[in-house]
Amino acid sequence: MSEKDYVLVVYSNPAPGREADYNDWYNNQHLKDVLAQPGYHSARRFRLTDFKLDDAMPPQSHQYVAFYYMRTDDPKKALDDMKTRVEEGIIGLTDAMAEDFLAYCYEAASPLVQELE
């Protein structure tokens, strides 16, 4: 099997009153811990804005989203390895993150398109 591009998308919120701790942990520890794993090559976080494409859209329940970009021939193994590292304490979690996070893995469905000049 040849390597393909994937993205792990994680929706999360800080625990009540812990946003500064949550952002410090995420930006200064967690992203680096995940990127230290084989297969992961970049990551970026975003915070929800007040702007919507359509006002009829339902409200989003998570204020933050993180994208972890992978290139691998075995995404299940990459995800299982991450879960194992969390369970073993190699990748630390924090109580500054609310427990209602969601995580989904997507396979690239098109080539990367960048800004046209």
Number of domains in the chain: 1
- Between CA 80 and CA 15, with CA 21 as vertex, the angle to 5 degrees is 70
Does some domain include residue 112? no
Q: What is the pLDDT of residues 1-31, one digit of tens each?
A: 689 999 999 999 999 999 999 999 999 999 9
Instruction: State pTM to two decimals.
Output: 0.91
Q: Are 31 and 87 in contact (CB under 8 A)?
A: no
Quick check: 35 pLDDT over 70? yes
- Tell me the residue range of the domain where 23 lies: 1-50+61-66
13 within some domain: yes
pLDDT in the model for residue 104:
98
Assess whether pLDDT exceeds 80 at residue 117: no
Give a yes or no: residue 34 inside a domain: yes
